[in-house]
Structure formats: C-alpha cells, structure tokens
C-alpha cells in the first residue's frame, strides 16, 4: 500500500536530485569557463548556481515539512527522522526507492564537493598568477613575502605602483 506522504517525499527528493544534477553540470561548465578565462561565462555560471541554490532551499523546506508529517505519523523523533532512518522504517517499494535515491544523492553530493573544490583551486591559482603579474608590472621584486605576526608569511607593504618613482 502506498503512503501518499512518502510518495510526496519521493517526488520532492527526485526534484532535489534533478537540481543537484543541474548544479553539477553548472560547476563543470564553470570549470571549463575558468580554464578558458571566459568572464561572461563565469558570471553566467555564478548566476545559475545562485538560482539552483534558491531552488534547492525551496525544495529542502518542502521536504522538511513532509518529513515532519511522516515522523508524526510513524511516531519518530523529528530530529532523528532522516532519509537514512526512513529507509529503515518504510517498507516495500517506497523504502527501496528511498534507499536508491539516498545513494544517488550521496554520490551527487560527493561529485559536487570535488568539482567545487577543484574550481576553488583554479580560482586561487588564477589569483596568484594575477598577483604575480601585478608584481612584475609594478616592478616589485618576486619577494614571496615577509614574516608577519605569529610567524605567518605576508606580502610586503601592499603598495603597488605602475610608475617608477626612483627616476
């Protein structure tokens, strides 16, 4: 017998999976744009990520309301009523579907995290490269930095100029 609330939960989780797949595609496009130094494409990816995040938040709110109703019906503690717990409690095809979807979401989460970390690395490398180019253009030596408070390395005085003031 199908529980209408569990069916609704399955629909919501499917929607979340679609959003996470789209987010992964956006992150992969962003990675290509970062490598190609395509600023308009990067900006489009940022806007698309923002839209996906908003939609994911909306879906999460909807999912939490349904899970709360399910937890009351099954007499579970609302804070302990996770997807993993529901997989254990819900019987039949619905439990199997929730288990499959949970695994899909965990894998998507892992892939999104790895792609996002890779993109962050590319951005940091690009910033270092740009900073080094500015050092060269401003005539500052390739000084990797000086020791600052607590032994941390920091850049020089932070003043950059494109004009040689020694002449």
Identify whether 38 is part of a domain. yes
pLDDT of 111-154, one tens digit each?
A: 999 999 999 999 898 888 888 888 888 877 655 555 555 555 55
Identify whether 161 is part of a domain. no
Identify whether 107 is part of a domain. yes
Identify whether 164 is part of a domain. no
Average pLDDT, the chain: 85
Identify whether 92 is part of a domain. yes
CATH number at residue 96: 1.20.58.300
Identify whether 167 is part of a domain. no
Asked if the model's pLDDT at residue 73 lies above 80, the reply is yes
So what's the pLDDT on residue 78? Answer: 75
Q: How many domains does the chain have?
A: 1
- What is the domain extent for residue 100? 4-128
pLDDT of 26-37, one tens digit each?
A: 999 999 999 998
So what's the pLDDT on residue 7? Answer: 93
Q: Contact 71/65 with Cβ under 8 angstroms? A: no
């Amino acid at each position: 017998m199908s529980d209408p609330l569990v069916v609704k939960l399955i629909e919501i989780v499917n929607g979340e999976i679609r959003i996470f797949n789209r987010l992964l595609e956006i992150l992969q496009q962003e990675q290509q744009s970062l490598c190609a130094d395509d600023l308009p494409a990067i900006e489009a990816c940022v806007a698309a990520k923002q839209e996906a995040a908003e939609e994911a938040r909306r879906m999460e709110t909807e999912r939490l309301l349904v899970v709360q109703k399910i937890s009351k019906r099954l007499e579970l503690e609302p804070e302990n009523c996770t997807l993993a717990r529901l997989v254990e409690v819900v019987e039949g095809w619905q439990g199997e579907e929730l288990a499959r979807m949970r695994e899909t979401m965990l894998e998507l989460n892992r892939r999104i995290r790895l792609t996002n970390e890779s993109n962050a690395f590319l951005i940091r490398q690009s910033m270092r490269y740009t900073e080094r180019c500015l050092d060269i253009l401003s005539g500052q030596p390739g000084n990797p930095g000086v020791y600052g408070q607590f032994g941390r390395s920091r850049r020089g005085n932070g003043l950059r100029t494109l004009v040689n003031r020694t002449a």
